[in-house]
Amino acid sequence: MADDPQKFLEVALEATKKAEPVFRKYFGNAPGVSEKVDQGMHRSPVTDVDKEIETLITSHLLSQFSTHSISGEEFSPQHHSSPYTWYIDPIDGTINYIRGLPFASISLGLWKEDVPIVAVVSDPMHNVTYSALHDKGAFRNGTQKLSVSSVSKFGEAVGGSGRAKALGEDPLLQRVAKAAYRGREYGGAALELCSVAEGKLDFWISERTKIYDVAAGMLMVTEAGGTVTDWEGNPYTLDSANIVASNGKIHTELLQALKK
């Protein structure tokens, strides 16, 4: 199939729609809850629902794009011959999902080598789907164009964090929290990035990021007019260890706060 970003987006939307009934069915009552430990010895929960959703999405994507690579949170990557890779987080915000807290999503991003080109983040519990195409904008439910906030002073900014500790408990984030107006903790990277894109949050920062956590959400932010870098201000890449996303207007001050 020839390169067709619009077609890629349509298939991504189809894949997430297939997974949404499973997501809703087990929300707050997920079977097969266990813990996994990554190479950095960080523990995180996983459920049978994560695996079922990732399998559903992978199957649908490969039925349409058999040469595309797949990199998901729960299974080993499937490498193929094309420059395209789909990054899947079947349940972003798994703890929230297990506990029945309605801040969890399905995140799906397509990158062409090092460039994000398609993003879909589904929030099934609120019947909201965010989508973005490279150079074509970001949208809520396909029609409402997303735009970052207009806050231009860091002292008036409201932001979130994906750090393991809360804003008030982590020494580094205490500095950021003191410089900003308010901090919030939600526990779901994809929807927090969508909140930046939508202008509900002015910034979001995280370390120890994994690409499937942010592959979709960061495109939402940039297509909504925001800025995404690592903590040094370099463009975010597949090898970046951390991430900072903002409305762009406060980005310089935010980076300075992270370095103090």
Give yes or no: residues 129 and 189 share one domain.
no
What pLDDT, in 10s, does the model give residues 196-247?
A: 999 999 999 998 788 999 999 999 999 999 999 999 999 999 999 899 999 9
Specify the CATH number for the domain of residue 72: 3.30.540.10
**Between these two residues, 163 and 95, which has the higher pLDDT value?**
95
What does the pLDDT read at residue 81? 83
* Whether 135 and 221 share a structural domain: no
Judgement on whether residues 130 and 169 belong to the same structural domain of the protein: no
DSSP assignment letter at 216: T
Q: Reply yes or no on whether the pLDDT at 167 is more than 60.
A: no
Q: Tell me, yes or no, whether 170 and 196 share the same domain.
A: yes
* Better pLDDT: 1 or 23: 23
pLDDT digits (tens, 9 = 90+) for 77-93: 898 889 999 999 999 99
Give pLDDT tens digits for 116-161.
999 999 999 999 999 999 999 999 999 999 999 999 998 889 988 8
Q: How confident is the model at residue 194 (pLDDT cuts 50, 70, 90)?
A: very high
Annotated ligand binding at 89? The verdict is yes
Q: Does 50 show up as a binding residue in the annotation?
A: no
pTM of the entire structure?
0.91
Residue 53 annotated as binding?
no
Distance (Å, rounded) from C-alpha 4 to C-alpha 246?
29
More confident residue, 155 or 68: 68
Q: What is the CATH number of the domain that holds 195?
A: 3.40.190.80
Distance in angstroms (rounded) separating the CA atoms of residues 97 and 180: 29
DSSP string, the chain: ----HHHHHHHHHHHHHHHHHHHHHTTT--SS-EEEE-TT--EEEE-HHHHHHHHHHHHHHHHH-TTSEEEESSS--B--SSSEEEEEEEEESHHHHHHT-S--EEEEEEEETTEEEEEEEEEGGGTEEEEEETTTEEEETTTEE--------GGG-EEEE-SSS-TTTSHHHHHHHHHSSEEE--S-HHHHHHHHHTTS-SEEEEES--HHHHTTHHHHHHHTT-EEE-TTSPBP-TT-SEEEEE-SSSHHHHHHHHH-
Axis-axis angle for helices 48-64, 5-25 (nearest 10): 150
Domain of 136, in residue numbers: 5-145
Structure confidence at residue 246 (pLDDT):
98
Q: Is the pLDDT of residue 108 over 70?
A: yes
Element holding 79 (H helix, E strand): none
For residue 73, say whether it is annotated as part of any ligand binding site. yes
- Whether 239 has a binding-site annotation, put simply, is no
Using DSSP, how many helices (H) and how many strands (E) does the chain show? 8, 14
202 and 251 together in one domain: yes
Strand partners, 229: 235, 244
The tens digit of pLDDT for each residue in 3-45 reads 899 999 999 999 999 999 999 999 999 998 888 766 554 678 8
Using the 3D structure, point to which of 93, 110, 145 is the last residue of a domain. 145
Eight-class DSSP state of 235: B
Same-domain pairing of 190 and 137: no
Higher pLDDT, 1 or 192: 192
How many domains does the chain fold into? 2
**Residue (of 61, 82, 260, 93) closest to 179 by Cα position:** 260
Domain stops at, among 113, 145, 177: 145
